[in-house]
Amino acid sequence: MFSNFDWDVIARSLPYLFYDGMVFTLTLTALATAGGIVLGTLIAMMRLGGLPVLPWIAATYVNFIRSLPLVLVIFWFYFLVPYIGQWVTGASRPVQVGAFTSCLVTFTLFEAAYFAEIMRAGIQSIPKGQVAAGYALGLSYGKVMRYVVLPQAFRNMIPVLLTQTIILFQDTSLVYVLSITDFLGAASKVAQRDGRLVEMYLFAAAVYFVISFAASSLVRRLQARVAIVR
Amino acid sequence: MIEIKHVSKWYGDFQVLNDCTTFVSKGDVVVVCGPSGSGKSTLIKCVNGLEPFQKGEVTVDGVKVGDRKTNLPQLRAKVGMVFQHFELFPHLRVVENLRLGQEKVLGRSRAEADAKAMSLLERVGLTVHARKYPGELSGGQQQRVAIARALAMDPICMLFDEPTSALDPEMISEVLDVMVDLAHEGMTMMVVTHEMGFARKVADRVIFMDRGEIVEDAAKDEFFGQPRSERAQQFLSKILAH
């Protein structure tokens, strides 16, 4: 059945697929993960802190974002970000931010809601006694968080955080709704141009599988190495 | 050094501390004992502000603990505390546990903190374990590290919250030995414990608590000789019986 397939189309389009497509996908994944974890950790701390109103705001944000489909958010943000930029900077017309920036903002804000829940679980997994011991040494709330709670929470949660990152990696393919050339977008364009849909989509699937699978195996090994001795 | 005046505390409707008044003078060792749930741990945690209280006043070295204006971290840095479950930071090596407060609170240099840490580890006999993680040590060793960690801050007094309750019997004495040495050196100590042998050896005064009240507060000999209250008598006969 593969006899009339043209595998050569893959070889010919490799530079385009990887230099244009995969670089975009990986950059977006890496930056959105970093941004999402930082923002998510802040949201988790807001939610768990004893200050008024903040926990409510954080919880509302998380619940709101998590009840929206990602595709919808990507779409919405692409049209919204220029206007938000205009509003923030006070410019006279919508600020053109470009597809990549728009996607980065979207994924960071969207994933932050998920990372926030992971970090919340991580922070809550640290025994109260650890916090008390930090305070007893004279550490402030911020320093207890920074040196005692978050490093432990982060390590406990690394497997879940990386799993979420793998999901994020796969989710970046949804930027196709904006006709952006991510890896899948690139494969799709070649497929349409050369009329080689089956070959290109099979190849794209294989690449996503290999990367995700390798990353999952890495997570398992890493887990053993970073686990805290108890 | 430590003054506790008419301190009361409630968890909702439940009163855990009822009008507690006592003191610890400089250089004194005061042992706090009593049945579980009597409020001993809560009382000692009021001293460094880990537990808030609703009524009364606690002063440490002239500083009011319950006052909103008090810089609690600064005060806590001067008061060493040792916990029942050690509470070493499991993600940090032993020596890093001893360095953290020194560097991040007292602002000592890495070298200074390291030197202090190593000399204290030598003192508690754990120099060879400096590079290990707490999880690799026995309970007794961990508690000695915890004592060293508190001492690294050069505290003016030390609080011990049942430091031997979570230990296997054979490890209790190695921890008590360190505490006895400290007491002999003149450290001001407030110790919640059931170790009456320790109390007999080094305590100046013994406080007996029951149901959130300080029932008895007496010099050691007086307390062990003839406790005035019936509840203290019963408690002593129970724990000294075997």
Chain B residues touching residue A136 (CB < 8 angstroms): 48, 50, 76, 79-81, 83, 150
Residue (of B196, B166, B220, B240) closest to B29 by Cα position: B220
Q: Which residues of chain A have pLDDT under 70?
A: 1-3, 230
Residues A188/A192/A193/A198 CA torsion (nearest 10 deg): 80
Residues A161/A162/A163/A164 CA torsion (nearest 10 deg): 50
Q: Which DSSP letter does residue A26 get?
A: H
Residues B58/B62/B66/B71 CA torsion (nearest 10 deg): -150
The answer to whether residues A184 and A176 touch, using CB atoms and an 8 Å cutoff, is yes
Distant-in-sequence, close-in-space partners of B135: CB < 8 Å, separation ≥ 6? A228, A229, A230, B90
Q: Would you put residue A138 in left (φ > 0), alpha (ψ -120 to 50) or beta?
A: left
Q: Which of A130, A135, A137 is most worth mutating to test chain B (most B CB atoms within 10 A of its CB)?
A: A137
Res A176: pLDDT: 84
Chain A residues touching residue B135 (CB < 8 angstroms): 228-230
Query: From the centroid of its chain, how far is CA A2?
Result: 36
The answer to whether residues A39 and A109 touch, using CB atoms and an 8 Å cutoff, is yes
* Bridge pairing between strands B205-210 and B29-33: parallel
The enclosing H or E element of B135 equals none
Res A1: pLDDT: 57
Please tell me if residue B131 touches chain A, with a CB cutoff of 8 Å.
Answer: no
The enclosing H or E element of A52 equals none
What ipTM was estimated for this complex? Answer: 0.93
* Bridge pairing between strands B157-161 and B79-82: parallel
Q: Which residues of chain B have pLDDT under 70?
A: 241-242
Chain A residues touching residue B81 (CB < 8 angstroms): 133, 136
The answer to whether residues A159 and A215 touch, using CB atoms and an 8 Å cutoff, is no
Q: In the A/B pair of chains, how many CB contacts fall below 8 A?
A: 74
Q: pLDDT tens digit string along A127-178?
A: 999 999 999 999 999 999 999 999 999 988 988 999 999 999 999 999 888 8
- The overall average pLDDT reported for chain B is 92
Res B23: pLDDT: 94
Please tell me if residue B105 touches chain A, with a CB cutoff of 8 Å.
Answer: yes
Question: How far is B103 from B153, CA to CA, in rounded Å?
Answer: 10
CA distances from B145 to A161, B182, B195 (A): 32, 14, 20
Residue (of B208, B207, B206, B150) closest to B182 by Cα position: B150
The answer to whether residues A111 and A170 touch, using CB atoms and an 8 Å cutoff, is no
At B193, is the secondary structure helix, strand, or coil?
Answer: coil
List own/partner pairs for B174-182 with CB under 8 A and 24 or more apart: B174/B140, B174/B141, B174/B144, B175/B140, B175/B143, B175/B144, B175/B147, B178/B124, B178/B144, B178/B147, B179/B147, B182/B147, B182/B151, B182/B158
Q: How far is B220 from chain A (nearest CA, A)?
A: 28
Are A129 and B153 a contacting pair at CB < 8 A? Answer: no
Res A33: pLDDT: 95
Question: How far is A20 from A207, CA to CA, in rounded Å?
Answer: 15
Helices (H), B1-151: 40-47, 72-78, 94-104, 110-123, 139-151
Res B242: pLDDT: 59
Please tell me if residue A130 touches chain B, with a CB cutoff of 8 Å.
Answer: yes
Res B156: pLDDT: 95
Q: How far is B222 from chain A (nearest CA, A)?
A: 33
Q: Which amino acid is at B126?
A: L
How is residue B214 written in tokens?
């300080």
Please tell me if residue A224 touches chain B, with a CB cutoff of 8 Å.
Answer: no
B50, B136, B153: residue with CB nearest A229: B136
